[in-house]
Structure 1
Amino acid sequence: MMKGKISVLLGVLISSILVFLTGCAPQNGPGGHGGPGGPGGRPPSPENEEIQARLGDTSILMGSVVVPVSVEACGTGAGFSRLVCLTDLLKSSASSEVLELLQLDYSVEKAQSWSNLPAGAFPSRPGVFLGELTSDQLGIVKAILQEAAGSAENEGFDEMVQTLNADDYIGTVSTDYKAGYSSYNSKIAFLGTPSSTGTWQLYYGGHHFAFSNTYTDGQLSGATPSFRGIEPFPSFEMNGRVNVPLLQERDAFAALLNSLSKTQKSAATLDGTYRDILAGPQADDAIPEEQEGLSVTELDESQVALLLAAVQTYVGDIDDADAKVYMDRYTAELADTVLGFSGTTDMDSEDDYVRIHGPSLWIEFSLQSNKSTNEKGNHPHSVWRDITSDYGGQL
């Protein structure tokens, strides 16, 4: 317990120093000690100047991107071999300049370089911007993401598209032109060479998104950290559709929390106020060792089903076969899993927060005030981590 408290205090001290040096709020902060940051105030640097020169402000319209006929060479059967074939196809179509940004050596340090911040505020995010690719290359990227991600409505690939649409929306209302609010500015990279041997990661993300599937010797060895955020929330119209990403996560948690009895709610209530998630970007050691909250053994059968439905909204972001492996593991660990929350049970107010903490599983959902749209309201940050297989267990 003491170790966890020391880690939190050190995190607060480091965040305070960063605020003093850069004029920015930290990217994330533990409950009652900080909050999310905006993109302004970064000091000039060669890296940031290079990113600023590459930023775009147009929509890639990922939802309507056409998958090229060339992907037929990789077959139609879902699986790892098709995924590798698609990555090879994308690389073979790339110029030397694009390939230099797309194909990188693997390192845990690179894999950890993800953020909730937009491209202009986090220049160290690796990869090539989606907007720097040709239309055919974007179609191959679409096929890659569809292969690796879940196919359910509002989950997996569909959630990716809606989050890209959110950045396009923010780009229409934001006054911070250097932030890079546009679907153009999300990135994709291969950390390590995609192959049936060795370790490599499919790195995809940008503002409010991190998808980090790690593969080792032809098998998925880690699907986390998996970060999602969305603004505006809970819904908005953009790019020809109504977008509701993370609404299903919020509703699943609200259904679970509102099912609790008075006694169960008391046991599940966490101390303090949580203004953001704990285990966000650059906070890989923030998960407390000690569990806090209501044991899942105190839930009845219907409540356990509601909890698993909430977990499924995260695990379902990866392909079905791999998602089943994770769900089976988390179900087997339910007796050692706890539920905790702070704020209201409806999960619709600022500082509402909920987490699920098991031997392997860590999920957080946090509501905070809007930062990028200048509109009244709240928006969520959320993360799924697997304590045993973050970054493919490479730590």
Structure 2
Amino acid sequence: MDRLQQDYSVATAQIWSNLPAGAVPDRPGVYLGEFDQKQRGIIKAIMMEATGTAPDEGFDELLQINNADDYIGTVSTDYKAGYASYNTKIAFLGTPDRTGTWELYYGGHHLAFANTYRDGALVGATPSFRGVEPFPRFEMNGRENMPLTQERAAFTALLRSLSDDQREAARLEGRYRDILAGPGEDDAIPDTQEGLNVSELSADQQDLLMAAVATYVDDIDAADAARYMEKYRGQLADTVLGFSGTTEVNTEDDYVRIHGPSLWIEFSLQSNKSTGEIGNHPHSVWRDRQDDYGGNTE
């Protein structure tokens, strides 16, 4: 029980990673594989309550990313890495209650879910990291899995809509091999925005951008997602779109980001690492510069 429920601290909440269990043994919490079937059913109910219900979003996305680890476990010979959905961890940082501060922590390979609550209300849904390999589709655990394809499709639709002048303004200098604001990089978001100001987009293009944002925000429960979407739409005049690589978002080092006063989203494609298969896979993160870790600093 002491590993499942721990004292709340930002320092503990910051121990998240895109790497598999064998590379990050100090993630807080208890491995899913340590619970019996009934207990895992309770965990599923908790996570479903805290997440979105749409296909390929919310809980369904978490499940598919876990399925990817089971797939990797069937093809990888790196047995020390611990590729398995049962090596995802869950923890309660603080005491779940209607008073006080606590975080629902759920993390593993290519996955970081961090909902922070204060006095019974969600005050932070970030950092929220998602990645998946293989990509874009694979069969595992009795189903076809295609997590993060909806994020890529939304970004592709947005970038395709840009005029030549808009595309030139949005293009970032240099090559991005991975996201900037990943694990251990809480201070990596630049103060200076770079790219195309969203105020230069048409109403239809702004809707395409918000559709891309929704593929991240809809990972949390509907009521809180609506609140965040309203917040981010209200900040569009001060939000910037940037990309590097191709507009199809299907090539190694393709990179897209949305940078607002509080909103930060990145989507990056890089070569496969875990499966040994030819192709690329995404790393992606949603951050909120005001609400990361619930706005807490300690």
Q: TM-score, normalised by structure 1?
A: 0.75
Partner residue of 1:130? Answer: 32
Partner residue of 2:141? Answer: 239
Aligned-residue offset at 1:225: 0.1
**Equivalent position amino acid for 1:322 in 2:** D
Tell me if 1:171 matches 2:73.
yes
Aligned-residue offset at 1:170: 0.2
**Equivalent position amino acid for 1:183 in 2:** S
Q: Distance in 2 between matches of 1:124 and 1:278?
A: 22
Q: Distance in 2 between matches of 1:154 and 1:374?
A: 25
Aligned-residue offset at 1:100: 1.8
Q: Distance in 2 between matches of 1:325 and 1:302?
A: 21
Q: Distance in 1 between matches of 2:216 and 2:254?
A: 19
Q: Unmatched 5+ residue regions in structure 2?
A: none
Bigger RCO of structures 1 and 2 (CA < 8 A, at least 6 apart): 2
Aligned-residue offset at 1:142: 0.3
**Equivalent position amino acid for 2:54 in 1:** A
Q: Distance in 2 between matches of 1:380 and 1:327?
A: 23
Pick the aligned partner of 1:219 from 115, 121, 136: 121
Q: Pairwise CA RMSD of aligned residues?
A: 0.4
Tell me if 1:283 matches 2:185.
yes
Tell me if 1:253 matches 2:155.
yes
Q: Distance in 1 between matches of 2:66 and 2:239?
A: 33
Q: Unmatched 5+ residue regions in structure 1?
A: 1-98
> 1:124-165, CA deviations, whole angstroms, 9 ceiling, x for partnerless residues?
111000010010000000000000000000000000110010
Q: How does 1:368-379 map to 2 (within 5 A)?
A: 368-379=270-281
Q: Distance in 2 between matches of 1:332 and 1:218?
A: 25
- What SS is found at the alignment partner of 2:144? strand
- Give the strand-richer structure, 1 or 2: 2
Structure ID, larger Rg? 1
Identity %: 72
**Equivalent position amino acid for 1:330 in 2:** Y
Partner residue of 2:250? Answer: 348
> 1:349-391, CA deviations, whole angstroms, 9 ceiling, x for partnerless residues?
0000000000010000000000000000000000000010000
> 1:44-71, CA deviations, whole angstroms, 9 ceiling, x for partnerless residues?
xxxxxxxxxxxxxxxxxxxxxxxxxxxx
Pick the aligned partner of 1:184 from 59, 63, 86: 86
Aligned-residue offset at 1:101: 1.4
Q: How does 1:223-372 map to 2 (within 5 A)?
A: 223-372=125-274
- What SS is found at the alignment partner of 2:80? coil
Aligned-residue offset at 1:245: 0.2
Partner residue of 1:380? Answer: 282
Q: TM-score, normalised by structure 2?
A: 0.99
**Equivalent position amino acid for 1:216 in 2:** R
Q: Distance in 2 between matches of 1:301 and 1:196?
A: 40
- Give the helix-richer structure, 1 or 2: 1
Moved over 6 A (4+): none
Aligned-residue offset at 1:123: 1.1
- What SS is found at the alignment partner of 1:349? coil
Q: Distance in 2 between matches of 1:106 and 1:338?
A: 34
